[in-house]
Amino acid sequence: MQQLRYFSFALMLIFIANSAVVVATPLVITAERYLDVVQGELISPAVIVINNGLIAEINPGYVPPNSRHVRLEGMTLLPGLMDMHSHVTIDFFSDDHWTTAPVMETPADWALHGVTFSRQMLDAGFTTIRDAGGFPGFSDIALMRAIERGDIVGPRMFPAGHYISITGGHCDITGFAPGIQELGPKQGIADGKAELLKAIRYQAKHGVRVIKVCATAGVFSKGDSPGAQQYSDEELQIIVEESARHGLRVMAHAHGSEGIMAAVKAGVASIEHGSMLTPDIIREMKERGTYYVPTIHLNDLPLPPETPSWTVKKNEFLKPHVENSFRLALKHNLNIALGSDAGVMEHKDARLEFYAMVKRGMSPLHAIQSATINAADLLGVSDRGQIKAGMLADIVAVSGNPLEDIRTLEEVNVVIKGGVIINADK
């Protein structure tokens, strides 16, 4: 009889717990207006009902009883912003040892950097980020998992883990004496089919959500030509095909025209930087639906005083090409997703990418779409990027009208992620 009473009491507790989930207190957000990013329309008023981390209703005829109400008078609501090119475990801007960080710091240091920097990006309004790779050790994967567990507060992450690079290429660690930081396929440094298969499979094993390949040389590495193609056409195809077998899309760092075209033809999801686009490349990208992630705000920034001479020289060479590529992309209505390259600059300044694009001719609506519906499309997800019933309750609030002044996005007043108010400066 005693055992039966214990059993009945346990069943009652289970019922109460399950009932608590069902009748979770809704959160109601009211504001002056919200932006329909698909139609490009501001809709007033904005009454958003959030339940269990999702947007339940918009502008209902009634407010659910027993709901918690947050009033954001005079504010505009937008979907949570998304940055498709960030480095939240890397610090290239706050000290003078960024060229030696790979041998002076450890994955523990980089993960701790990520705790701070990912929170800065979330506070700036970026509720989802695609992390474009870091130093070896999967610190970005550890960060993603800590955020998902709720151990720390940060944006939703799509981490790339280790860069995939040729030996001695842009994303290898170079410049040190032989024997120091010599990397292989497990750290993403791979040449030829066998090593590439091992590198990608090892990445997939450890939980990456995107593959980052360095298809060409770059600016922040040794070498004379920032645009030289580094993987062969065949190797790029192997990378894309093997990644697809693991359900992973490929983002390709690419500056030079030949490397960009080769990566596009191989089937990558996006071209990062894309400094030397041509009309032929753009036609190919449009046919395949390839995205362009311009990271254009970097062109407005001075390099740190300790920057090596080879980087300064390549940066100055690329600057006019970068401007021309962006103009071409706009002219031909190429798919564009916002990416800041945060980590090369301060992470909180990812928000400055909006104005950098708009002042070069992009409309404010297009800039916002690049960080919402376009970013969601690039990620291959359908649960975010709009304020719409059934979507994740990832929402930001700003004062003013971002369709009239895009710089209102540089001062996000409220950040909501999954129905939880993360940051409220109102």
Active site residues: 212, 341
CA dihedral 425, 392, 80, 86 (to 10 degrees): 120
Q: Is 109 helix (H, G, I), strand (E, B) or coil?
A: helix
Q: How many residues does the chain have?
A: 426
d(CA 300, CA 320): 12
9, 15, 16, 68, 214 from 19: Cα distances, Å: 15, 6, 5, 18, 51
How far apart are the C-alpha atoms of 403 and 263, rounded to whole Å?
34
Structure tokens at 322: 């970068």
Q: Which residue has the tokens 């062109």?
A: 299
Cβ burial, residue 346 (10 Å; 0-12/13-18/19+): middle
Owner of token pair 């002076």: 104
Distance in angstroms (rounded) separating the CA atoms of residues 49 and 120:
27
Whole-number Å distance between alpha carbons of 214 and 151: 32
CB 50 within 8 A of CB 393: yes
**Using CB atoms within 10 A of its CB, is residue 299 exposed (0-12), middle (13-18) or buried (19+)?**
middle
3-state DSSP assignment of residue 345: strand
